[in-house]
Amino acid sequence: MATPNVNFFIHSVPPLNDLGINHPLVQKYWKERQFYSCQNSSYNIIGYVEHGSEQKIDFVEYSGNNEKSKGVFDINGLCSKERLAELKNGFKNASGHIWHGLITFEEMFGKTYCNDYESAYELMKKQLPRFLKGVGFAKDNVEWFAGFHENTNNRHIHFAFYEKVPQRNIGTNSIHAQGMIGMIHINDMKLQCEKYLTTDLSQKLKRDEMVVEFKKSLPKQLLKGEYGKKMKELILLIPTTGRISYDSDNMLFMKNKINYLVDLIIKQDKKVNATYETFMTFLLDKDSSIKRMCKSYKINPEKVVFMEKYKTDMYRRLGNIVIKNAIDIRTQLKRLDFQTNNRLAQKRIRRRKNEYILQESLYLANKVQYEAMSYFQEHMKVLEEMRIKVLIEQGLIQL
């Protein structure tokens, strides 16, 4: 199973006031509550996030090795000493749950899309409030901070927050009281973080500005013709039941359409397309060499040549990204739809749908192009290593 580009973990520690020393919650959470409520001036979550650590702290998931911190920040940016003191005092006096968590990135994804404090700050500034609102927290009732850490493997962001006034009368009456947050919100946070980072990477443009750039970069006839047409067709035709993945029998009739859309996206970007052509040439040369050897030994080359196997694997990998994106678009389009006989309202609905499809097509193009480049570079490296190994074995290269 492929490593996800973004992982999101969130936990909470309950308030322990007025509970006896032998209470099960006290037995389980005492030390952890002390750490997250900053009861100890030298050993607490804010100090850890601010300075990093060379040792794993039991309460901090995935701290990694030799962490380097870029400092503590909140909604307004990096925190001053005075602001850190305010935060510590606030967490110390928090009377409800304290939530703490981690956003961690796959190694290459993190180094590409979230490799500095600025990227981490913009991500948290935009996405954490959205997440909190979706869960049911009141915007002005939450105090939060975060910190960006980097080490030799994965970039990641630690965060923590509490409610200034604990709310126990929202939703089911138990979500906030128990500190629990549903998987639907956690999974949505992963998706939204990845979409935000990949959409806003190139020039940190706003989404609407990026749509304008996308329109400029795509040939007009492609955007209004083939690309838009094939994307809408895909959204309509993907099955609503059964197994929905590139290699499933349920999707067999869709493969050519998905491959065609992948080709359009690859060819849209000059750099990606040039790398693709280089990769195909690399494979063609490799296959030609293999076929010559097989011919001399009277062996059927079909089982050992590379090109078709790599192309099939490429379409599978990129095709699954296209499928997932198309399903997400279809789900959102249903939310935008409602029955009305008003002609102007119908027109507005159609315009919103078309705008949404266009915006998500931008995200899809960026995502597929990024994954395509990663795929080409990854496998060209493997093939080159194989070639060098053969040359060493033949004595043409000396170690």
Mean pLDDT of the chain: 77
Residue type, 110: G
pLDDT at res. 335? 72
- Local structure of residue 152 (DSSP, 8 states): S
Per-residue pLDDT for 208 more than 60? no
Lowest mean pLDDT across 38-52, 97-111, 180-194, 369-383: 369-383
Can you tell me the mean pLDDT for 101-128?
Answer: 88
Residue found by looking up tokens 């990854």 in the block: 378
Q: What pLDDT, in 10s, does the model give residues 336-366?
A: 666 666 777 777 777 777 666 666 766 677 7
Residue type, 134: G
User: Residue 153, class by beta-carbon neighbours within 10 Å (0-12 exposed, 13-18 middle, 19+ buried)?
Assistant: middle
Q: What pLDDT, in 10s, does the model give residues 257-311?
A: 999 988 888 887 777 788 788 778 877 877 887 777 777 667 777 776 778 888 8
8 Å CB contact between 313 and 241: no
8 Å CB contact between 299 and 338: no
Q: In terms of Cα–Cα distance, which of 198, 236, 224 is closest to 358? A: 224
Q: What pLDDT, in 10s, does the model give residues 19-34?
A: 888 888 888 889 899 9
pLDDT at res. 232? 83
Q: pLDDT grade, residue 59 (50/70/90)? A: low
**What is the rounded CA–CA span in Å between residue 329 and residue 351?**
15
> In sequence order, what are the residues at sequence separation of 6 or more whose Cβ sits closer than 8 angstroms to the Cβ of residue 316?
246, 247
**What is the rounded CA–CA span in Å between residue 192 and residue 181?**
17
- What pTM does this model have? 0.51
> In sequence order, what are the residues at sequence separation of 6 or more whose Cβ sits closer than 8 angstroms to the Cβ of residue 12?
97, 98, 99, 100, 179, 180, 181
